[in-house]
Amino acid sequence: MEIISTPAAMQRRSDEIRRAGKTLALVPTMGFLHEGHLSLMREGRRRADFVATSIFVNPTQFGPNEDFGRYPRSFDRDCDLMRTVPVDIVFAPEASAMYEPGAETWVEATEITTGLCGAHRPGHFRGVTTVVAKLFNVAKPHLALFGEKDFQQLRAIQRMVRDLNFDLEIVPMPIVRESDGLAMSSRNAYLSADERRRALALSRALAAAHEAFGAGERDPRALVRTACGVLRAGGGIELEYVEAVDSETLARIETVERPVVLAIAVRIGKTRLIDNAVFAPRPVLN
């Protein structure tokens, strides 16, 4: 497994792969890997000749009072996990290599990032789309894989790729959950045993809303109320938002006629957790 630390070296390696007529899949991560990340890498392994993973805790997507300094990091552990896939290339730059002194250029998807997490984390998605654009220019992948747990991030990146004519395919991948239903996240490491137990209310809330949807409920406000009821009953959970929006545009809707994403963000203790589920109405047969 090659470990590359500078953008120039990564670009040279990508050029070599492309000149050889081979394909490259990229899995961007901030490290502290779990099975969700590995599922993306294994799919990249299946789809491409080479798999590259970036390990970079991107400072520009953290707000001033967020957890950049304490975000979990364990590079050696991550490398051991990536060897099981196996991953071919690890791109692990320093922040100074990705953002040179005097850097002042940003990439931003505006409308699709105004609600949900974007309304509560000013500047977050600008940092995300900027660093992902840079990673695409550095690694030059043929395809890049992103998990659906960060649903708004996925949609913002898809919009950026479309609007700026990036020549690559974005591959969405389903949420990977623990056996008890908790969505896998690097931030789960912050949770105490009691907080982790309370965090199970997120998947229960989504399941309750899905049951209501399956029974015919098509009012997004009613789906939100159902989910909120489960979350509040769990206790010790601070709701940041619970919203049901169009799954493509992330715009608010009056009734569910197309696929809708029910998205949740909460705080349990000092930990911010997100989760979501997409509900799709059955097509009407003529």
Q: Which two tokens stand for residue 138?
A: 């550095």
Those residues with Cβ within 8 angstroms of residue 224's Cβ, 6 or more apart along the chain or in another chain: 209, 242, 243, 244, 262
Q: Is 282 left (phi over 0), alpha (psi -120 to 50) or beta?
A: beta
Q: How far is CA 280 from CA 128, 216, 251, 258, in A?
A: 28, 12, 16, 6
Q: Please name every residue paired with 183 in a beta bridge, in sequence order, or none if there are none.
A: 177
Distance CA 213, CA 222 (A): 9
Give the β-pairing of 260-268 and 238-246. Answer: antiparallel
Peptide linkage before 86 cis (omega within 30 of 0):
yes
Return d(Cα 12, Cα 6) in angstroms, integer. Answer: 10
Q: What is the dihedral of CA 250, 256, 258, 259, to 10 degrees?
A: 60
Q: Which is nearest to 156 in space by CA: 191, 99, 115?
A: 115
Query: Catalytic residue positions?
Result: 37
List the structure tokens of 181.
């239903």
Measured distance CA(113)–CA(241) in Å, rounded: 14
How does DSSP assign 96-133, residue by residue?
HHHS-TT--------GGGSSTHHHHSTTHHHHHHHHHH
